[in-house]
Amino acid sequence: MVLSKKILPVFFFLLLLSVTVSGQTRLGFFAGLNSGKLKGDAPGKASYKSLMGFNGGLYLDVKLSKLVTLSFQPTYTQEGTRVFYSIPWEKEPVDSLRIRLNYFTIPILVKVSSLNQRFYALAGVETGFLLDGYAEGGDEKVSLTNEISQFNLSIVFGAGLRFPLKHGRLFLELRYAQSIVDLTDEPVDQSYVPRVKTAGLRFNFGYELPLSKRKK
């Protein structure tokens, strides 16, 4: 609750500020899949593999120039990883443990569009706030919410393709997010989540609509 009280006023201030720019804003929503995994220290004879998750949210694009847009995107994101262990009598590593980390994130991105506005590239930073986390293996499920950092910071880059409609635009987007802070400072033998960072490849589909009519 305290976190929400801090975040929401900031977001609504940005929303109010942006809509004052007549004809320069677009509102949209998106949803997609996140192929994420942890990177960093791993237990002995273990390795991290990708785990699929969901991500979706809203965004507000503020046009800075003909080709450059600033985008605010409050998002729900599922990060995580599968942990595979090498066992002497098994030929291949065994999928033994799954770690799921759910975040509320606020990406702030810069989009640079092509001349016809169909293609765009994006880059920026993403601030993440942990909602909950757990490790699960077999019949055991252990909460990680109080054991890892409640804050995450990532760099984001990617590209997208827009499809104009009579009203608004559809888009497909591929982006990669890599955190730049460790989730914990714990050594690898004392935690399910040792000194690791999140990373994920995300595929999104969405729709956007101008908030005001374009000036001729």
Residues 6+ apart with CB under 8 A from 185: 195
Domains of the chain: 2-18+25-209 (2.40.160.20)
28 touches 69 (CB < 8 A): no
Task: Say whether 111 sits in a helix, a strand or coil.
Answer: strand
Give CA–CA dist 25/118, Å, rounded.
Answer: 17
Lowest mean pLDDT, pick from 41-45, 53-57, 146-150: 41-45
Asked whether residue 212 carries a pLDDT value surpassing 80, the answer given is: no
- Residue 45: which pLDDT band, with cuts at 50, 70 and 90? confident
Least confident of 103-112, 171-180, 196-205, 207-216: 207-216
Q: How far apart are CA 163 and CA 91, in angstroms?
A: 47
What DSSP letter does each residue of 141-202 carry, written as one string?
EEE-TTTS-SEEEEEEEEEEEEEE-SSSEEEEEEEEEEE-S-S----TTS-SS-SEEEEEEE
Residue-wise pLDDT tens digits, 57-113:
999 999 899 999 999 999 999 999 988 876 655 555 556 788 999 999 999 999 999
pLDDT surpassing 80 at residue 214: no
> Residue 17 phi/psi, 5° resolution?
-65, -40
Q: Is the pTM of this model over 0.85?
A: no
Residue 17 banded pLDDT, cuts 50, 70, 90? low
